[in-house]
Amino acid sequence: MQQSNRLRPFFENITFDRVDNEMILNFGPQHPSAHGQLRLMLHMQQEQITKAHPDIGYLHRGMEKMAENMIYNEFMPTTDRMDYIASSSNNYGFALAVEKLIGLEVPRRAKVIRMLLLEVNRLMSHLFWLATTALDIGAMTVFLYAFREREYLMDLVEDYCGARLTHAAIRIGGVPLDLPDNFMADLRKFLDKLPENIKDYEDLLDKNRVWLMRMENVGVISKEMALSWGCSGIMLRASGVKWDIRKEEPYELYDEVEFNVPVSDKGDNYARYKLYMAEMRESAKILYQVADMYEGTSPELMAHAPQYISAPKLDIMTQNYALMQHFVLVTQGMRPPVGEVYIPTESPKGELGYYINSQGGPYPYRLKLRAPSFWHTGILTDLLPGHYIPDVVSIIGTTNIVFGEVDR
């Protein structure tokens, strides 16, 4: 039996007195192919869209406000929930921003582990993108295949940090744990199989007639539009701008590894799809190189900066001063210097930036999360008009937006 409540049907008090054929279509906020809680108000002329209003905020959880009320280390798990498909890359962005603010240098083994995590996360994210986009367009097989591979990657991350989805695997100043024994062997086993798997997906999709019809020349983003909308990552590279922060402003060990940045100048859905596939291959290449770097690094995992970072567990358990310092850092939090910093990193979705304004207190005075998906959602306003209803789904798919990141 239904209980009464005050909710009334939409459009109850709208009178349609105009005689043109314009129809208003409400898409979302809970739509299976919206990749989260996107609501679109589409003005239609028959099947064609004339105006689009993306409405976001259905997953706004107030993360920036939370950051202002949390000590720096406390905020780390919250960053997981931003881009929850590749959570380590969010952890990393935040850790890097705070490290730059303090001026910390991270030990080499921690850098290697971070690189491994970042690239594993990139693979996870791209596989997930492929799975969901293919599912939206109707390729159920690819969904099942891509999820199969993604599960192996999740096993790897789980072996490392114990969590499947929300890793919190990176700390400010390093990483908390060393790699487990079987990690490298499992990773190599997976990487050896990956090219075959990617080839499987491409065999299924590349020349598939339905896939081509839904992808080719749909959702074309010009170079000017991509720049003006602040696009980054694959959205930008598919439109002919060769800009990858890993290459241009290298952080961590990206200047020591060799990889290509795939670019396309088509700007349509198909170009983006090809770039995702190419980036997976590049990630595998990076992972092979980083795996070789691991051997021969000294076992330190956290930077030595007693003012900001707790000492290693052994010191805390044996030395009185280290224990006191640890107590102060856990209860009161570190106090970074006064200043502000904006640090961009290349997350799987694009440029993930953290702006931190510190006033010397244990809480950031202002923390702004620059999430790439926010602008990739905004671009739908200009991108959708002129397209047809079925194109909406494929365009949303290839923009690769995650709503934890859009709304924060």
Partner 1 sequence: MAQHQVNYLKDGGLPVALTTIDKVVNWGRSNSIWALTYGLACCGIEMMASGASRYDFDRFGTIFRASPRQAELMVVAGTLTKKHAEFIRRLYDQMTEPKWVISMGSCANTGGMFNTYATVQGVDRVIPVDLYLPGCAPRPETLQYAVMMLQQKIRKEPASRSQKPKRLM
Partner 2 sequence: MRAYTPKDNVQAKSYYTDRFWVAPQVAKSAVSDDEVFAADLEAIKAKFDVLDAYIQVEQMIVIINANDNYAVLELLKNECEYTQLSEMSAIDWLDQEGKFEIFYQMLSMTKRKRVRIKCKIDEKEAIQSVEKLFRCADWSEREMYDMFGVVVNNHPFMKRILMPEDWEGFPLRKTYPLQGDEFAAWYEVDKIFGKEAREIIGPENRDPARIDRYDTKRFSRLGHEVPFGTDISQGEPDTPLVYQEQEGVFMIDKFDAQKSVVISDRHR
Residue 158: Cβ within 10 Å count: 14
Q: How far is the CB of 241 from partner 2 (least distance, A)?
A: 7
Q: Which does 144 bind (CB under 5 to 8 A by kind): partner 1, partner 2, none?
A: partner 1
Q: Which does 340 bind (CB under 5 to 8 A by kind): partner 2, partner 1, none?
A: partner 2
Q: At what angle do helices 140-161 and 108-137 cross, to 10 degrees?
A: 160
Question: Can you name the residues that pair with 43 across neighbouring β-strands?
Answer: 24, 51
Angstrom distance (rounded) from CA 130 to CA 133: 5
Beta strands in 199-293 (DSSP E): none
Residue 255 interacting with partner 2 (CB under 8 A): no
Q: How far is the CB of 374 from partner 2 (least distance, A)?
A: 7
Name the segment binding partner 2 (CB under 8 A); options: 9-17, 287-295, 298-306, 376-384: 376-384
Q: Which does 29 bind (CB under 5 to 8 A by kind): partner 1, partner 2, none?
A: partner 1
CB-nearer residue toward partner 1: 73 or 132: 132
Q: How far is the CB of 60 from partner 1 (least distance, A)?
A: 5
Angstrom distance (rounded) from CA 160 to CA 181: 10
Question: Can you name the residues that pair with 54 across neighbouring β-strands?
Answer: 40
Q: At what angle do helices 183-205 and 140-161 cross, to 10 degrees?
A: 170
Q: How far is the CB of 181 from partner 2 (least distance, A)?
A: 16
Closest CA to 264 of 256, 276, 246, 280: 276
- Pick from 77, 138, 312, 378 the residue near partner 2 by CB under 8 A: 378
- Pick from 1, 2, 6, 320 the residue near partner 2 by CB under 8 A: 6
Burial tier of 33 (Cβ tally within 10 Å: 0-12, 13-18, 19+): middle
Angstrom distance (rounded) from CA 103 to CA 223: 36
Q: How far is the CB of 201 from partner 2 (least distance, A)?
A: 18
| Four-CA torsion 327, 330, 333, 336, nearest 10 degrees | 80
Residue 262 interacting with partner 2 (CB under 8 A): no
| Four-CA torsion 286, 292, 297, 301, nearest 10 degrees | 50
Closest CA to 353 of 77, 59, 83, 72: 83
What residues between 69 and 108 interact with partner 2 by CB under 8 A?
69-70, 100-101, 103
- Strand pairing class (39-45; 22-27): antiparallel
**Residues in contact with partner 1 by the rule CB under 8 A:** 1-5, 7, 29-32, 36-37, 57-62, 65-66, 77-78, 80-81, 84-85, 128, 131-132, 143-145, 147-148, 150-151, 154, 164-166, 403-404, 407
CB-nearer residue toward partner 1: 81 or 247: 81
Residue 126 interacting with partner 2 (CB under 8 A): no
Distances (CA, A) of 136 to 72, 150, 402: 39, 18, 15
CB-nearer residue toward partner 2: 135 or 198: 198
Residue 28 interacting with partner 2 (CB under 8 A): no
Q: How far is the CB of 204 from partner 1 (least distance, A)?
A: 15
Interface contacts to partner 2, rule CB under 8 A = 5-7, 56-57, 60, 62, 64-66, 68-70, 100-101, 103, 152, 155, 186, 189-190, 193, 225, 227-230, 232, 241, 243, 248-249, 332-333, 335, 337-344, 351, 353, 355, 357-363, 365-366, 368, 370, 374-375, 378, 381-382, 407
